[in-house]
Structure 1
Amino acid sequence: MATLLRKIGLIRLHDRDTEDPKHHQGSLKGTKGNQKNNTKHCNNNTSNETNNILSTPEIKAKKFDHSVKDKPLPGSTKDKQGGKDTKEKQQSSKSSSSSIPPLAPHRQHCTQVRTRRLMKELQEIRRLGDNFITVELLDDNLFEWNVKLHQVDKDSALWQDMKETNTEFILLNVTFPDNFPFSPPFMRVLTPRLENGYVLDGGAICMELLTPRGWSSAYTVEAVMRQFAASLVKGQGRICRKAGKSKKAFSRKEAEATFKSLVKTHEKYGWVSPPVSDG
């Protein structure tokens, strides 16, 4: 019996050795494929396990402790240095922001308003047929005019002085500020040298409507000149004929200083020059 079993075992062993090699190779390939799949599966399991391990609360706590260690403690040297750097950055940003000039659109708008207003007034003055005033731009500057006043009250002593001295006009300089017509122009007499008539040192003119308090944007240059002509007559203005004094020219610096002084005086004690309604 044992001999028979041995013979059967030998036959089975012989059958395995005589199987188709291709079949045998296929079985080997299948085995290798299974090994690769098993390897991949193991790798995936390993990575998942690693991620799971890294996401444990203990590891997270270690990471947090490590990040805290990297940050400077309050009051430490690093923290002070960092605070200095932050302050320096803030100061530099403030200085850079303060050094930036203010935006220009508002100024540009004021310039446009002033230009349109003065161009319109120039056209209206040139349309006048009574030859009351004529205008010349000083050095082609629209914002500074030389205005010639050709007429005053013909019954006045000033008119007689003009005829006797062959003075064809009273010349005035008018400067328009940036925010004109919302602020008054600065106006002064250039020639001839006048006495009284609310004309003061330097050719400054004592008129309330030429101050911010008495000014209105509705006033035109023509209206201002008519008011000035009326104040000259009412204030008994005369052409200076004194030998030494008549040749001394008015100066702008003196006129500006005189005007500032008289404005302060009148704001304290009131105005005595002719009101706007006169003339």
Structure 2
Amino acid sequence: MATLLRKIGLIRLHDRDTEDPKHHQGSLKGTKGNQKNNNIKHCNTSNNESNILSTPEIKTKKSEQSSKDKPTGKDKQGKDMKEKQQGGGKATSTSLPPLAPHRQHCTQVRTRRLMKELQEIRRLGDNFITVELSDDNLFDWNVKLHQVDKDSALWQDMKETNTEFILLNVSFPDNFPFSPPFMRVLSPRLENGYVLDGGAICMELLTPRGWSSAYTVEAVMRQFAASLVKGQGRICRKAGKSKKAFSRKEAEATFKSLVKTHEKYGWVSPPVSDG
């Protein structure tokens, strides 16, 4: 019995002594490795935003950072005022008149054209028309028509009444020569000859529809002289009516009305050859 017990004890001692110590180290390493892997896994999952937000400490830092980024009342007010000033500055810049350079260019074109026309009229050798500036205004002319067809009744009226010329006023708009001038008779008071109330002149050539920038003042006046003869114009000799002067306001209203009428029913203008 004792011998059996000793054998059993020796066997146990032998088993304990013969166990590989590396086996225990490996098992311990395995345990540590599992713990390390678990720690790594936990760190990886901690990168998730839900885990970050669930951490109280990080929540506190997050709120502190957001409070720093959020502008205070004074900063916000200053920012709003700056934006309003910038907006106001933009509004001011866009409110400037964009047509100023264009108007200046039109004025230069009109001035050059009229200066050239004045020089050409002064070179005329037949004394057909003469020009005087109204109140020294280059854009407002008083034109004297000295000649009409000498075989016409109007010419005979001029001789009998000692009328040396027919006086007209010609006003040039800002966009002349691309728009027609406004022309009206001042004196004497005429009847027929396409001269209407206020001294308005019924000619398609004087309307935007019939106007061409190539027309000169001399050409317009020759056309007018022809229309006077074609329309059998005469100097008014009726008592009282002959002394009544033409008015610009009446002429403008009459011209506006006749343009509407002729645009509806058509125009009739005598050619220059008829003069």
Compute the TM-score of the two structures, normalised by the length of structure 2: 0.71
Inter-CA distance 211–70: structure 2 relative to 1 (3 Å threshold): same
Aligned equivalent of 2:105:
109
Q: 1:233 to 1:26 in 2, by over 3 A?
A: same
With 86-95 and 162-171 compared, the bigger mean Cα shift is at 86-95
Deviation at 1:12, TM superposition (A): 62
TM-superposed CA distance for 1:274, in Å, is: 2.0
Deviation at 1:62, TM superposition (A): 4.0
Count of aligned pairs between the two proteins: 272
Q: Distance in 2 between matches of 1:203 and 1:22?
A: 130
Alignment partners' CA distance in 1, 2:232 and 2:193: 5
Q: CA separation of 1:19/1:96 partners in 2, compared to 1, >3 Å: closer, same or farther?
A: farther
Retained in 1: the 8 A contact 2:222–2:272? no
1:220-267, Cα deviation, whole Å (9 max, x unpaired): 000000000000000000000001100000000000111111111111
CA 1:260–1:58: 2 relative to 1, 3 Å:
farther
Other structure's SS at 1:244 match? coil
- 5+ residue gaps, structure 2, are none
**Structure-2 change in CA distance of 1:178 and 1:38 (3 Å):** same
Aligned-pair distance for 1:88?
A: 8.4
Aligned match of 2:5: 5
Q: Secondary structure at the match of 1:8?
A: helix
Q: 1:171 to 1:53 in 2, by over 3 A?
A: same
Report the Cα distance in structure 2 between the residues aligned to 1:110 and 1:208, rounded to whole angstroms. Answer: 24
Q: C-alpha displacement at 1:101, in angstroms?
A: 2.3
Q: Tell me the residue number matched to 2:47.
A: 48
C-alpha distance in 2, partners of 1:88/1:149? 65
Cα deviation for residue 191 of structure 1 reads 0.2
- Residue pair 2:230, 2:274 contacting (<8 A) in 1 also: no
Give the drift of 1:119.
0.6
1:25 deviates by 55
Does the 8 Å CA contact 2:140/2:170 hold for their aligned counterparts?
yes
CA contact (8 A) 2:145 2:165 kept: yes
Distance 1:50 1:199, change over 3 A: closer
Shift of the 242–41 alpha-carbon distance from structure 1 to 2, 3 Å rule, reads same
Q: What is the match of residue 121 of structure 2?
A: 125
Distance 1:5 1:177 in 2: 140
Bigger Cα displacement from structure 2, 120-129 vs 269-278: 269-278
Distance 1:50 1:216, change over 3 A: closer
Q: 1:188 to 1:7 in 2, by over 3 A?
A: farther
Q: Which moved more, 1:8-17 or 1:243-252?
A: 8-17
In the alignment, the residues of structure 2 paired with residue 182 and residue 80 of structure 1 have an alpha-carbon distance, to the nearest angstrom, of: 55
Q: Cα deviations across residues 130-156 of structure 1 (Å, max 9, x unaligned)?
A: 000000011111111000000000000
Tell me the CA shift for residue 21 of structure 1.
61
**Offset at residue 95 of structure 1 (A):** 4.5
Name the CA shift for 1:134/1:4 in 2 (closer, same or farther; >3 Å). Answer: farther
State the Cα distance separating 1:188 from its structure 2 match: 0.3
The verdict on how the C-alpha distance between 1:96 and 1:9 changes in structure 2, with shifts beyond 3 A counting, is farther
Contact 1:147 1:172 in 2 (8 A): yes
Say whether residues 1:85 and 2:72 are aligned partners. no
Instruction: Tell me what 1:202 maps to.
Output: 198
Q: What are the Cα deviations for residues 162-181 of structure 1, in whole angstroms up to 9, with x where unaligned?
A: 00000000000000011111
CA distance change for structure 1 residues 267 and 103 in 2, over 3 Å: closer, same or farther? closer
Give the corresponding residue for 1:168: 164
Runs of 4+ with deviation above 6 angstroms: 1-42, 45-61, 76-81
Moved more, 113-122 or 8-17: 8-17
In structure 2, relative to structure 1, the CA distance for the partners of 1:23 and 1:132 (3 Å cut) is farther
**1:168-219 CA-partner distances (Å, limit 9, x unpaired):** 0000000001111110000000000000000000000000010000000000
Matches within 5 A, 1:12-23: none
CA contact (8 A) 2:226 2:271 kept: no
Any conservation in 2 of the 1:198–1:273 contact (CA below 8 Å)? no
The CA distance in 2 between the partners of 1:230 and 1:19, in whole Å, is 140
CA contact (8 A) 2:199 2:246 kept: yes
Structure 1 unaligned regions, length at least 5: none
- Aligned mates of 1:219, 1:180 — CA distance in 2: 11
